[in-house]
Structure 1
Amino acid sequence: MKIFYKNSIYIIILIILSIISIQIGVKDFSIIGALFNNKEDVFLATISRLPRLLAIIITGAGLSIAGLIMQTITNNKFVSPSTAGTMEWCRLGILISMLFFGGEHKLVKILSAFIIALIGNCLFMLILRNIKLKNSLMVPLIGMMLGSVVSSITSFIAYKYDIIQNLSSWLQGNFSTILKGNYEILYFGIPVAIIAYIYANKFTIASMGEEFSINLGVNYQKTVTIGLVLISFITSLIVVTIGSIPFVGLIIPNIISMTKGDKIKNTIFDIAMLGSIFVLVCDIIGRLIIYPYEVSVSTIISILGSAIFLFILFKKEK
């Protein structure tokens, strides 16, 4: 009953924020008009407002779940797609697709970003496995250093072939360009959440180490590989469709783990919902702060996310 009550609160908050979000825009819009088949309102809802809302919800949930999986399999609370260099590897993958395949089709970009991100994540895990680190903060620092190197290589190649402007659209996450027909690929993120839930217990066991996992009959390498595939896939979907969004996969799992623990099966719904709510709140702020203009959602998330992360850091130190 208590779990149902908490879940209901998340859903109610998400619904209220969704109603607020769907009404914000330069063009006047009425939900009642859309419900009663007003042509202009229905057109605006189906072409722009609903696609944007759904993209925000999936992005928030997807990045939060990716962060949860990464923190679990690395057994480190400071790791996420943004601190492990996954997003930088995705941008390198996008660059490769533009150079060799023209980058016209979104699926080609996603496939290229996914493959390169997976290679990058495997390299990150290999480095962690071969270096003994006494301080847990060193793990994300290694990831960010690796990400910076990859980002520099990507920028150098982009400048050399004069495609830096084309690549810059993936540097910051932005939902303003989301319309019907260019976001639906994000729906592939939903099966990722389902698979993550199915493998939840195995991810939790894998976080305790290879020897412990083998003793409990869990294939450690297979479980970690599945985790890396899920992280790389959802991150590539989001980076190609929306752009880079920091902090979500880092702070949301930490907030929930402070109250509900680290067992994935018990926290994955809360993390997905809170991630969606957080990104939606940031998007609403970005659209209202200098209305009718917009501030990119990644800028708002960077400001709020860094403040929340510092709070979590100091709280853990105490």
Structure 2
Amino acid sequence: MALIGLGIGTAVAIVLFMTLGARGSWSFILWFRGVKLIGLILVAYAVAVSTVLFQTVTNNRILTPSIMGFDALYILIQTMVVVLFGSATLATLPPWPAFLGQVAAMMLFSGLLFRLLFTGAERGLYLLVLVGIVIGTFFRSVAEFAQRVLDPNEFAMLQDSLFASFNSIDTRLLGTAGALVLAASAIGFRMLPALDVLMLGRPMAIGLGVPYRRTVTVALVIVAVLVSVSTALVGPVTFFGLLVASLAHALVGTSRHRLILPAAVLIAVIALVGGQMILERLFAFDTALSIVIEFVGGIVFLFLILRRNAR
């Protein structure tokens, strides 16, 4: 019933996004809004699925993939481009090299972490998360230091690229991003039964015959691909995944991935498409959707921590 309700809500949000306030040629409007809609759905899917999978692997509903330092690495890459080549290079850089370079850097970073730290033991997973936090803090510190030596005008231009922007998704990148997401999803779909068992914990999963190390490693690689694509498309989003994953668990009331994953994706689509529609049609771009999402997600994060401490 929850999935049916979310499906109806998603359909309503999409129809309103495509038709509300439409004036002029319908062929142009449907193409212009349709391409933007595909970008929003792609980002919503990548963020929702990556967060649910990461929480399954870590067996913790408070952690998100951003804890591994992906957002900090994105900020560092953008900052170093401006420091080394100037803000004009960042503004005029062709989209394909920038997108593929950012995805490749994040994938290389995650691959090195998994290769060097993840040994298959439970403490190896905890060490992986801890080192991700430390490296993310290091990346942020280096980026902040580099930003202090920038010219104020270049720093102002850099700031625009460091905040998530759902209104300026480069539509030329959607084909490549969609192919990466589709490939990762095809692999993850075959792992759904093993992921359900993984929720029971490492000892129980091994006892039930799940190849723990291989399953967790593949899941983390899928997470890295999805996070890299979403971050390279719109920028860093810290609490959005936590928000949709928490709402999905609350609405569905089960940990089975064949239900949780669609619910999280539908909630993410409603939040992005519906939020962008309200922002454009009612508020005339007076505020940024990412600010609202991060604010609500931060409140949910604090609520989850306080509830866990109360227990």
- TM-score, normalising length from structure 2? 0.78
1:113-162: CA deviation from partner (whole Å, max 9, x where unpaired)? 322244456778689826989xxxxx989865542322222343566688
CA shift for structure 1 position 68: 0.6
C-alpha contact (below 8 Å) 1:92/1:113 kept by paired residues: no
Where does residue 278 of structure 1 map in the other structure? 271
Question: What is aligned with 2:191?
Answer: 199
Deviations along 1:154-196, whole A, 9 cap, x unmatched? 3435666887566544421112223542433331323333432
CA distance in 2, matches of 1:144, 1:286: 33
Q: Which residue in 2 is equivalent to 1:59?
A: 43
Residue in structure 2 matched with residue 177 of structure 1 by the alignment:
168
Distance 2:205 2:160 in 1: 42
Task: State how far apart, in whole Å, the 2-side matches of 1:254 and 1:125 are.
Answer: 27
For structure 2, the 5+ residue unaligned runs are none
Further displaced range: 308-317 or 198-207:
308-317
Describe how 1:202-217 pairs up with structure 2 within 5 A: 202-217=194-209
What is the one-letter code of the residue matched to 1:281?
G
1:254 matched to 2:254: no
Distance 1:19 1:164 in 2: 39
Aligned to 1:107: 100
Decide whether the 8 Å contact of 1:93 with 1:115 is kept in 2.
Answer: no
Q: Aligned to 2:109, which of 116, 125, 129?
A: 116
Which residue type is aligned with residue 191 of structure 2? Y
2:12 — aligned with what?
16
Give the whole-Å Cα distance in 2 for the aligned partners of 1:171 and 1:260. Answer: 36
Residue type of the partner of 2:220? L
Q: Out of 56-65 and 189-198, give the one that drifted further.
A: 189-198
Aligned counterparts of 1:72 and 1:227: Cα–Cα separation in 2: 9
Aligned to 1:136: none
SS in structure 1 of the partner of residue 67 of structure 2: coil
| 1:85 counterpart residue number | 69
Task: State the TM-score, normalized to the length of structure 1.
Answer: 0.76
Alignment CA distance shift 1:311-1:155 (3 Å)? closer
Q: For the Cα contact (< 8 Å) 2:62–2:301, is it kept in 1?
A: no
RMSD over aligned Cα atoms = 3.6
2:139 is the alignment partner of 1:150: yes
For 1:117 and 1:169, the matched residues in 2 are separated by 26
1:82 is paired with a residue of what secondary structure?
Answer: helix
The residue type equivalent to 2:15 in the other structure is I
Gaps of 5+ in 1: 31-37, 134-138
SS state at 2:172 partner: coil
Residue 271 of structure 1 and its aligned partner are, at CA, apart by: 1.5
Aligned length: 296
Tell me what 1:74 maps to: 58
Pick the aligned partner of 1:229 from 197, 206, 221. 221
Deviation at 1:69, TM superposition (A): 0.7
Residue 218 of structure 1 pairs with residue 207 of structure 2: no
Tell me the distance in 1 between the aligned counterparts of 2:159 and 2:122. 30
The amino acid across from 2:267 in the alignment is L
CA contact (8 A) 2:14 2:274 kept: no
Matched residue type, 1:246: T
Distance 2:134 2:34 in 1: 38
Relative distance call for 1:93 and 1:194 in structure 2 (3 A) is: farther
Amino acid at match of 1:42: S
Counterpart-to-counterpart distance in 1, 2:161 and 2:112: 20
Q: Report what 1:129 is aligned to.
A: 123
Higher relative contact order (CA 8 A, sep 6+): 2
